[in-house]
Structure 1
């Protein structure tokens, strides 16, 4: 039986999302999702449209956002649920990150060229022409351009991301993680708000701050979990497409032990992560138990 709750998906308002809010609602309806949240990167633009369309489809909609932040030098993602999304606080976050992203995109282009790949601004602009943020290019977009170039069909650096390769399950995002994420050769540093500031902004706007997919962001930094919780988080995304059953159990137990809620989400993007489907996360509890947690979330 499929899952009926998915609280982590992205629309085209995210730099790496593919679908409109309305399309996501229709996909959720087709997938049997009864409770959904569109949590775009540093943007709340999808919520009004998603909420309206979900009501028509008989789906419970929870307004959300996913905000980039830092804690002790480590980049994290924090989900904000039940937020008053019309607050200017969220527009300020979006404007700040978008402005930095446009500059960082050109620096990433130079870093990609330093790896030996020939990529032009025109090629990146062509790929981004239908995106909401046309001036922002992501590591996933560089991967899409490079993997589509005939002259690189047999390039050894790209071989793992092609069909049959060990990184071919989600080739675009895997290429991003391998070359453009924090600490990698094409990484461009941006100034994200501190975790404590983000938690305060979310809670100030009647939302609940939830640590997103910690199995990804805390890899190699597991000792940070307890001090992160002490910043005032309301919950942990225990059930994620990125978590193994063992990781899901660990973060589920951590949430319960610390009196936090536990949430679930696929982190569905569309073509950026083709192996991820709506509702396609590892869960160890019935949907009814998760719904009980959402009662606490919505009751704030």
Structure 2
């Protein structure tokens, strides 16, 4: 079956670790024929990725943008756009927000009596903005935290040890969790306008990771804002949710996409090409690819 993966991250994302060329070589090894590198709030990977396209590999311009809609934060994927200063400004704004939040995150973690070696964290990050997964990595490797009861689920044999770093993020920094940091990102409608103004297609990413109910109702409101489609097939979606989203998206004549959300070591169970669609869904995904490639 044809393999398409439209959501993955290179080391232009602060929480991923593969250079663009290595990431695309991995995709070739997995037999992927169409892909997009969708780095967080950053379009710097686009020219590098596009330069590696070939007769056997279709590469779409991609980005994943943090934005706020109806009081909640979501991720908006953009495809087929022309990179320019608009996207540079998105990255600059996002980075400023993250740097401002970083010391507040440290404070939250220390309130839980975690030892956090900031010098070691800087080494791990290589000068990039520290991400929650990297904070978790440094905390978990610090011997002073060995016996901390809150960290036992992330150690070998623990209930959250399958993907300890991303699970650390969700369990401590996810909405409503003890270290959650309320933040307002640019409005989704504004980011939709930026993508569409630059010839791109805005798609809401992995809705199942952001809300646990009323998915289609939320998406309906997003479509009114100019969102053009849904990442139906995702490593975050159960087969049942994916089928529900597929039927809904097709019924709205919106575009259907798929993506693994591959990062590398932060999400070791997720591999490129791991999207979950079936042969019966390919026609709709190809329809999107044709539109995004035009």
- Name the TM-score, length of structure 2 as normaliser: 0.94
How many angstroms does 1:110 deviate by?
1.1
Please tell me whether residue 102 in structure 1 is matched to residue 99 in structure 2: yes
User: SS of 1:251's equivalent?
Assistant: helix
Q: Residue 208 in 1 paired to residue 201 in 2? A: yes
In 2, the alpha carbon distance for the partners of 1:192 and 1:79 equals 15
SS at match of 1:253: helix
Q: Which of these residues, 105, 108, 111, is aligned with residue 111 of structure 1?
A: 108
Q: Is the 8 A contact 1:78 1:210 kept in 2?
A: yes
Equivalent residue, structure 2, for 1:295:
290
Structure 2 residue 13 is the aligned partner of structure 1 residue 19 = no
Report the CA distance between 1:154 and its aligned residue: 3.6
Q: Per-residue displacement from partner, 1:59-102 (whole Å, max 9, x unpaired)?
A: 110000000001111100000000111x2110000001111211
Match of 1:69 in 2: 67
Is the 2:206–2:236 contact (alpha carbons within 8 Å) kept by the matching residues of 1? yes
Residues in 1 aligned to 2:187 and 2:282: alpha-carbon distance in whole angstroms: 34
Partner of 2:273: 279
1:31-68: CA deviation from partner (whole Å, max 9, x where unpaired): 1111110000000001111111233x841100000000
Note the residue ranges of structure 1 that are not aligned, 5 or more in a row.
Answer: none
Distance 1:284 1:58, change over 3 A: closer
Give unpaired runs (5+ residues) of structure 2.
none
Change in CA separation of 1:262 and 1:202 when aligned onto 2, cut-off 3 Å: same
**Structure 1 residue 188, shift from structure 2 partner:** 2.5
- The 10-residue stretch of structure 1 (177-186 or 284-293) with the greater mean CA deviation from structure 2: 284-293
Evaluate the alpha carbon distance shift between residue 221 and residue 98 of structure 1 in structure 2; reply closer, same or farther with a 3 A threshold.
farther
CA contact (8 A) 2:7 2:259 kept: yes
SS of residue matched to 2:6: strand
Partner Cα distance (2:239, 2:131) in 1: 30
The TM-score with structure 1 as length reference comes to 0.92
Distance in 2 between residues matched to 1:284 and 1:218, nearest whole Å: 24
Matched, 1:80 2:78: yes
Q: How many residues align?
A: 292
CA contact (8 A) 2:9 2:261 kept: yes
**How many Å separate the matches in 2 of 1:217 and 1:288?**
25
Specify whether residues 150 and 120 from structure 1 end up closer, same or farther in structure 2 by C-alpha distance, changes over 3 A only.
closer
